[in-house]
Structures are given as structure tokens and as C-alpha cells.
Structure 1
Amino acid sequence: MLQLKYNEKLDSMKTAEQRRQEKLQTLTFYNVADEWLEYTAPMVKVETVKNHINNVKRIKRAIPEDMPFLEFSPVSAEKVVYNMYYTEKLSYSYSNTILITIKAIICYAKKAGYIENISDFEEIKLKRRPVTKQELAKSVNKFLDKNELAECLKQLKAMNIRVGLAMEFIALTGLRCGEMLALRTQDYDAEKSSVNINGTLVKSACNGDDVQRGTPKNVYSYRDVILNDRARQILEWFMLENKKSAQWDRKTYKDKGYIFTTKSGNPYNIQYINKKLRELNLDNKKISTHVFRHTHISLLAEMGIPLKAIMQRVGHNDPNTTLSIYTHVTNKMKSELVNKLKAMHF
């Protein structure tokens, strides 16, 4: 008993610096990463929390569980990211996201007093490597030409007319799938023939959840998108079908104000849509909801629409994001270039 009281007295006499040093002796990188997750969770969206968790899991796979935090050096961080990008040949975007996550964890550690100088971590950069043939083929597969789009929509509508029309709407507007599914009747302006983008569907939520509708991806995502006649026709078809369901299927249909819904009145689940898209047979191309958005961007590029106008329409704030699709010249543009070169003379 006397020994216990003596130990407690010794603990109370320790300075904050002594306690910090003792904690650092047992602190692992895993501990700090988990602390960062807990620290940032209340500040970000549900989807962002999920992405953070997945990123940390990926980082942990490359680091021993018992690695002391003080032994995690800038070189250690470089090895994690460089191995992913240069050896495993993972995408630049994903590898850079992992690097950003590591830097965020280190920045938190500085705030927590676990490390003083993080300048060497901040200077780590990922230099793009030469693009492989596989990556080049994958980048071309990000969008469809007009013939591929027509065939894709034909197959999809035969499987599920609602999903087929919804994907056609994305190809006509460039909306993110989550933005389209979050559209409500009050977001449609019939007079201006436009929709106001002010929300997105939370992927991890289930149909009927109160948190199913979240805020857009970023401040640039808030926008009005003009509809052409076909896009307007699709949107009004859904609204009419929903009204019919509300009148005829009152037991199963619950009107929650959404436009692009299942027959029950709930917005479609994005995972369900992507599952349907994987059933398509289209020249070995991997079709996802984002392919239709990228296709819209490529079609606008083919029409010669300025980059800035495309960015505003699709809600991009980083030109490189749009350019990654914009610069992939379509076959039609290539043939037009050949014809113009033939006619060139001085």
C-alpha cells in the first residue's frame, strides 16, 4: 500500500515533458495513425472518413505493427509510396492520395507534440513515371465514343430501363452519379430547363437512411446545369413514372421527393448500378457510372467547347482532372486533324 502511494506521488511529480517522453517510447506509427483518424472524423464527411480508414489500412500493410513512431522517417514514408507507384504500378492518383494521408498523419503528430520538425516529410513529392501500355489503354477506356455509348445504353435499357435512362442522363449532363441520384423535384427548373446541383448521395448509406443525402463534393460542385431536350425528356419521364407509382402503388411507393428512384421511391444504390454495368458486354471495357461522366466531357471536347466552360459544367476545380480526359483526342478529332493538315499550304 505504501509502495503504491509512493509510485502515485512520483507520477504526480513528473513534468509534462517527462510524461511525453515516456509516451513516445511506446508510441507506434499505428497508434498515431489511429489517433489521427479519431481526431479528423468529426470534421469531415462520412464518405471522407471511410476513405481515410481505407488509406490508413493500406499504409499499415506496408509498415510493421510494432514500428515505433520515432523510427518512421521521411525515407520510410518514401518507401511506402514509391513501392506502390514505381514497383506495384498503382495509379499516380491513388499513390499520391496515400502520400497526402501520410503527410496529414505527420502534421497531426506535430500538433500533438510527438515530433518537432516535419519539413523533410513535407518536401516528399511523387514524380510521374512513364506511362505503361496498360495504363494508356486504361485511360482510353475511361470514356466511350458515340457508337460504344449507343450500344452500351441499348444493352443497359434491355436489362433495366430506369438504370439505362439514368446513365444516358449522366452522359448528357456530365453529373456525378451521386449528384444525379440526389436530385429532387425542387432542384428542377422547368422554365430555365436546368437542374441545381446542391447535394450528393452518400455511398455508404442504405436506402431510406436519413443521412442518405449529403453535401456536394466541394464548393465548385454547387452549380446549375443546363439540360438539352433529351435530358429534359428523361428527367420528366422519371417524374411522371414516380407520380404514377405514388397513385397506383401506395403500399410500396414512398414519395421522398427524389427524381431518379427505384419503383419504391428510394434513390438507386450506386453499388447496385455498378453491378448492372459490370454485366455489360462491350469490347472488354470496364463500365462504371463515371465512364458516362467522362464520356460527356470527351464529347464536349470533341465539339470544341473551351476547357473552362467544361470545368464549370461538370464541377471541376482542378484543370488537370478535366485535362486527363480532355486531352485524349477522339478518332473523329484525329481524322479532322489529318484533313486539315492535308489542306494546309503557304
Structure 2
Amino acid sequence: MSERLSETKQERLQAMIADKEGREPLRGVEKMARVQKYQTAKGERWMFIIENGIDPQTGSRRRVVRRGFEKKKQAVDAAKELEYQLGIRNLDTKGNMTFKEMAEEWLSVYGLTDRKISTLRVRNHEIGHLNAFLAQYKLKDITKKMYQNVLTTLKNDKKLAHNTISGIHGTARMIFKRAMEQDLIMNDPTQYAFIPKDKKTVEDIENAKVQDKYLEKHELQLFLEKSKELNEETYTMLFVLAWTGLRAGELVALKWRDIDFEEKTINVTKTYYNPKNNTKDFTLLPPKTAGSIRKLIVEDEVLKVLQKHQLKQKAMKLEVGKEYFDEDFIFARMNGPYYGYPHFIKTVENRMESVMKNLPNIKKHLTPHSLRHTHTSLLAEAGVELLQIMDRLGHSDDETTTQVYLHITKDRKKEASQKFGELMRNLSV
């Protein structure tokens, strides 16, 4: 008991020293790494210091220092991983580590690589699903049957979509793979697991109308006319989405420097990320995939709409002066107190919903993403091939896009079949 008290006092003393020195101890490993902040010309940065024993030849202390971390957590996670590599820190090799502990350790290492914030958030969410079933179980006690039951329950009881369960399973596989690499388990319970598939009834198949996922040509015309009646900026947003096939996150991340009015192109290099919908606390991230980085050729109609919008924005800047957050965003707030800040993705969704409510004859539940499908349908109708459409939209594979394309081009298929028949009949004459 006295030994435990002494240990606690020592930890408190180290915490007090760290506080006086203006640094923060690394929780749970105070005897190993020290993490502290320091000032640079670019602002506040974090560093860690690891005491790595005594050099037997010189008798001096071996110290490892790493600087330049923008956030404390980055320094903490990097320190942990280096301690594993140096052999200073060891995972629990006695077989008592729980799944929750292993998941936390894996996530800290996974986050060291150049991961998008949104990716880490998704992985953390997926771990939450796994922890609901496995958190307190020791790694060595988790069997293949137990893990398979988790996936089956997520499907049958929790009613999660196939893609969602696939993501959860992918995260679990990486966690158990790391456990195998650290010799914490002998067998991987995820190895032969399978993801339950969606079972569609005949009724589901018959009632699934792909045309409910996009606007027909005449519907798009009514939709844009109504949006123009309601709000000029809303019209500009939705017009650009319909004419380019951009994602809503790509739209609100656009800056004027991304538009080349002479070459008639839009450069798509980023997407907007703001999970808490805090106006000032947004992040610009690389697009969804490498293929999403693209240069779109656009028509004069798109450029004219944007130029008209730009003139109004310039007038607003002159009016509010320094109050304007001038970071070159195209779809920026035109009212206070946050002049110039980019709109939320939710704002685009709300404005589209408002337009649809004013079109009671169009009985479709559509979102801004539906305008990508609308763009697909019109390109297909114009005779553009599927691969070209995929390239323009910035993805290599998408089930709904393919469905829309096949639906629109079914008449061309009939034409192809008829032409083949005519050819063969002529041969037999």
C-alpha cells in the first residue's frame, strides 16, 4: 500500500514540476516521455523529450528530442510510437490487454501518418461500434465466432448499411493485425469473417425507381427557375452544382483563384470540413479521393452566373471593409457578423430543401448530391460515355451513377440490338 502511495506522490510531484516549467506531462507515461510547448516565429509548437538510458561508452544520458508538432496530441502519439520502437515502452504481453486498450493504441499510431481529420473521425466512430461489443474483453479471449456475431448483430439488429459495416470491419482488421504484429495474439479473429449482405425482396426491387434519384430535364428547369425567384445566391449555388456535378463540400470550398475565366475551367483541389458547424472552426481538406482532384471544363453560362455573383460580392466587401473575412471564398456569407466566411454544407442542403418545398408537383426526396446524379443523367442523354462522366465527377466507381447512366441509355441499347439484328438478317439474305 505504501509503495502505491509513494508512486502516486512521485507522479504528482512530476506533474507539479511540469506545471512550473510550462510543459505538460504525458499522461500515463510520466516516467518516460515529457511533452512541452514552445514558441516559434510561426506560433506555438509542441515537442517531446525521451530519456533513453545511459550511453555505456561515454556515461552520458541518451536523450531523444523531437520538435515541430502543431498539436499536443501529435507529440504524445509520436512519443508513444518512438518508445515502442526504442523498446522503452512495451505493450502488455501477458495477455491482459483489452480490445479497447488495443484500439486506442492502434488509433494513436494510425494517426501519426498523414491522415485527414475526417478519416480519423470516421475510424474513431467505427471503433465506438466495436467497443459496444468488445471493449472489456481481453484480446486473447475474442474468438472468430464472437467477432462474426458482432458483424451479424450490426446488420440484423442495428440495421447498419453494408458499406458502414464494411468500414467497421476494415478498422477491426487493422487493429487485430497490429495486435498480431506485437505478438499479443496468435490468431486473428477477423480473418475469415464475412459481412452479411443486403437481402432485397422482390417488392424492393420492383419499387426502386432510379429516376427518383435525379431531376428530369424539365424538372431541373423548374427547379432552377424557382431557386432564382427565392434567392439569387441560392440560384447561383444550385446552378453551379447542376452544371458541374460538384459535391456540396467541393462547392463551398471553392475560391476565386480556382476559376480560370479565360480557359473556362474550375480547379477542384479541396473540400470543406466542419463537423461541429462552427463558422470560424472550419478546415479545408484534400478531396475525397486522388481522382477527385480534377480540372473541370465549364460552359459560358456557368462563368456568367459566377461573374454576376462576383460583382455583388465585391460591392459587399467595399461596404463592410475590414469586417469582411477575405480569404477568397466564392460562396461566402453576405451578412454579418461573419462576412466572408464560407457557408456550411448544411446551408446548401437547407436551401435546396426550401426550393423543393415550393415545387409540390416534384414528389422526390432530393439533396445537393442528387444534382450530381442529375448532371450524370443529362450527360448520358447528350451521349457522353460512362468513363468520361466518372472522370468529370471525380470518382472511378459509383453504383448510383452507373444505375442512372444505364437507365438513361437503355434506348440506345435497344438501338444497338436492332442494328445488330439488321446486320445479321442482311447476311442471311
Instruction: Supply the distance in 1 between the matched residues of 2:159 and 2:385 (Cα, whole angstroms).
Output: 33
- Which amino acid in structure 1 is aligned with residue 248 of structure 2? C
Q: What displacement does 1:159 show?
A: 4.1
Q: What displacement does 1:173 show?
A: 0.8
Alignment of 1:53-92 (within 5 A): 53-61=124-132, 63=133, 65-85=135-155, 88-92=158-162
Instruction: Supply the distance in 2 between the matched residues of 1:158 and 1:42 (Cα, whole angstroms).
Output: 49
Larger radius of gyration: 2
Q: What displacement does 1:194 show?
A: 0.2
Unaligned runs of 5+ in 1: 5-14
**Cα distance 1:310–1:330, how it changes in 2: closer, same or farther (>3 A)?**
closer
Instruction: Supply the distance in 2 between the matched residues of 1:78 and 1:188 (Cα, whole angstroms).
Output: 50
**Cα distance 1:304–1:206, how it changes in 2: closer, same or farther (>3 A)?**
same
Task: Give the secondary structure class of the aligned counterpart of 1:217.
Answer: coil
Which residue among 145, 160, 165 is the counterpart of 2:216?
145
CA contact (8 A) 1:302 1:330 kept: no
> Structure 1 runs of 4+ off > 6 angstroms?
1-4, 338-344
Instruction: Supply the distance in 1 between the matched residues of 2:155 and 2:209 (Cα, whole angstroms).
Output: 16
Instruction: Supply the distance in 1 between the matched residues of 2:91 and 2:340 (Cα, whole angstroms).
Output: 57
Unaligned runs of 5+ in 2: 5-86
Per-residue Cα deviation, 1:205-236 (whole angstroms, up to 9, x for no partner): 63334x52222222212211011122222222
Q: How many residues align?
A: 329
Instruction: Supply the distance in 1 between the matched residues of 2:385 and 2:414 (Cα, whole angstroms).
Output: 22
CA contact (8 A) 2:376 2:404 kept: no
Instruction: Supply the distance in 1 between the matched residues of 2:3 and 2:240 (Cα, whole angstroms).
Output: 75
Task: Give the secondary structure class of the aligned counterpart of 2:213.
Answer: coil
- Which amino acid in structure 1 is aligned with residue 387 of structure 2? K
Identity level (%): 24
Q: What displacement does 1:333 show?
A: 4.3
TM-score, length of structure 1 as denominator length: 0.80
Per-residue Cα deviation, 1:107-165 (whole angstroms, up to 9, x for no partner): 232234322443x6244343644434558638654322223333443444444431332
Instruction: Supply the distance in 2 between the matched residues of 1:220 and 1:175 (Cα, whole angstroms).
Output: 13
Partner residue of 2:364? 285
Which residue among 131, 141, 146 is the counterpart of 2:200?
131
Partner residue of 1:10? none
Q: What displacement does 1:339 show?
A: 7.5
- Which amino acid in structure 1 is aligned with residue 185 of structure 2? I
CA contact (8 A) 1:301 1:326 kept: no
- Which amino acid in structure 2 is aligned with residue 126 of structure 1? I
Task: Give the secondary structure class of the aligned counterpart of 1:328.
Answer: helix
CA contact (8 A) 2:273 2:284 kept: yes
Greater Cα offset, 161-170 or 272-281: 272-281
Task: Give the secondary structure class of the aligned counterpart of 1:235.
Answer: helix
Instruction: Supply the distance in 1 between the matched residues of 2:248 and 2:178 (Cα, whole angstroms).
Output: 33
Instruction: Supply the distance in 1 between the matched residues of 2:353 and 2:148 (Cα, whole angstroms).
Output: 36
Which structure has more RCO (C-alpha within 8 Å, separation ≥ 6)?
A: 1
Q: What displacement does 1:261 show?
A: 1.7
Instruction: Supply the distance in 2 between the matched residues of 1:19 and 1:229 (Cα, whole angstroms).
Output: 61
**Cα distance 1:19–1:261, how it changes in 2: closer, same or farther (>3 A)?**
closer
Partner residue of 1:218? 289
Which structure shows the bigger proportion of residues in strand conformation?
2
Instruction: Supply the distance in 1 between the matched residues of 2:279 and 2:93 (Cα, whole angstroms).
Output: 49
Q: What displacement does 1:302 show?
A: 2.9
CA contact (8 A) 2:386 2:405 kept: no
Residue 198 (1) aligns with residue 274 (2)? no
